[in-house]
Amino acid sequence: MRAGPLSDDKIIKILNRHFVPFYTSYEDYEKAEGGVSKEESTVFNGLMKRFYDAKFETGLVFVYVFNANLVPLGTLHVAKAQFPDVLEKFLSDFVSRLHITGGEPSFKPRPQSVPPPAGKDSLVLHVFIRGITIEPKFPHEDWIVLSRDELRRLLPPPSSAGHPWRLDEQVAAKFGGRLHPTLEWLDNHDGYTVKIDRLNLQAAPVASSGEFKIARIEGKLRMLRTAFSYAPEKSHVSANLSGYLKYNDRTVLSLEIAVQDAFYGDGSLDDKEFEGYVESRPGSEPRQLQERFTSSH
């Protein structure tokens, strides 16, 4: 939904002017998990019972519409709501039938993907992938925070000053494990299946001057990432990684890595190609907002 109709300008406009958009995890509110209080869960379950009693379709993946008095007005399954024209008609019917006048968004619009909180000595990594996705028009984004200690582990060992060195594999795995296309993943009891078979990133110093040094990064990634409709033997990511590391004697100042020659499959000609990058951002400040972001609460 977020990569489809909720990124459509027509849907964004009608939601911002005529509704108070709210999206959440059904399971968290139903079971009072993920930071949801028991009081919130009680209200949520009571509202869901009202929809059920009103004979509306209900479930985990639905659009629910109700008024300020928590009176159910209608529902739409995402199998239909994923199509912008269908969702637009569904919402417009409420606007016309209830004579809803337009207004400014109830909450200030904000992006769906924002940098997480991070200390000034840490580095925020922005992962951006495009290619094979559930909704091919849109990329996916992810965020990783490297702590001060983790950044120090990426620096060259004292014994290798001026010579190539291998980046700490455990630290590199924090972002390496996110370099995969967006598909509907198969979950296991640990959340999802990711198994890095190979992540070898070599850094080689290049000529530089001033307060910092620069190293060229080259490496390869090979990992298992299971996905719906893909057999495990056809669920492998393979990619070449290249970029630059800016550092001084105390910490890493920036990290930029391009994901190139990247494929998802089993190594055959049927593999699907994707691309991406890792971009560092010191101390996290959210981006400047654009008007097309949907207001959400």
Q: Are residues 68 and 193 in the same domain?
A: no
Structure token pair of residue 8? 């459509």
pLDDT of residue 52: 96
- State pLDDT tens for residues 223-256: 999 887 788 888 999 999 999 999 998 999 999 9
Q: Are residues 48 and 84 in the same domain?
A: yes
Residue 288 belongs to some domain of the structure: no
Residue 198 belongs to some domain of the structure: yes
pTM for the whole structure:
0.73
Domain count, the chain: 2
Residue 274 belongs to some domain of the structure: yes
Residue 107 belongs to some domain of the structure: no
Question: Hey, how many other C-beta atoms are within 10 angstroms of the C-beta on 161?
Answer: 11
Question: Hey, how many other C-beta atoms are within 10 angstroms of the C-beta on 34?
Answer: 10
83, 76 contact by CB (below 8 A): no
Residue 105 belongs to some domain of the structure: no
Q: Are residues 61 and 182 in the same domain?
A: no
Residue 235 belongs to some domain of the structure: yes
- State pLDDT tens for residues 92-146: 999 999 999 988 887 777 777 788 888 888 999 999 998 876 566 667 888 999 9
**What is the arithmetic mean of pLDDT over 18-41?**
89
> Directed axis angle between helix 84-97 and helix 9-18, to 10°?
20
Q: Are residues 70 and 139 in the same domain?
A: no
The domain containing residue 48 runs over which residues?
A: 5-97
Q: Is residue 167 classed exposed, middle or buried when 0-12, 13-18 and 19+ CB atoms within 10 A define those classes?
A: buried
Q: Are residues 78 and 214 in the same domain?
A: no
Q: Are residues 49 and 155 in the same domain?
A: no
- Who contacts 31 (Cβ-Cβ below 8 Å, separation ≥6)? 41
Q: Are residues 185 and 90 in the same domain?
A: no
- State pLDDT tens for residues 122-137: 999 999 998 876 566 6
Q: Are residues 61 and 151 in the same domain?
A: no
Q: What end-to-end distance do the CA atoms of the chain give, in Å? A: 16
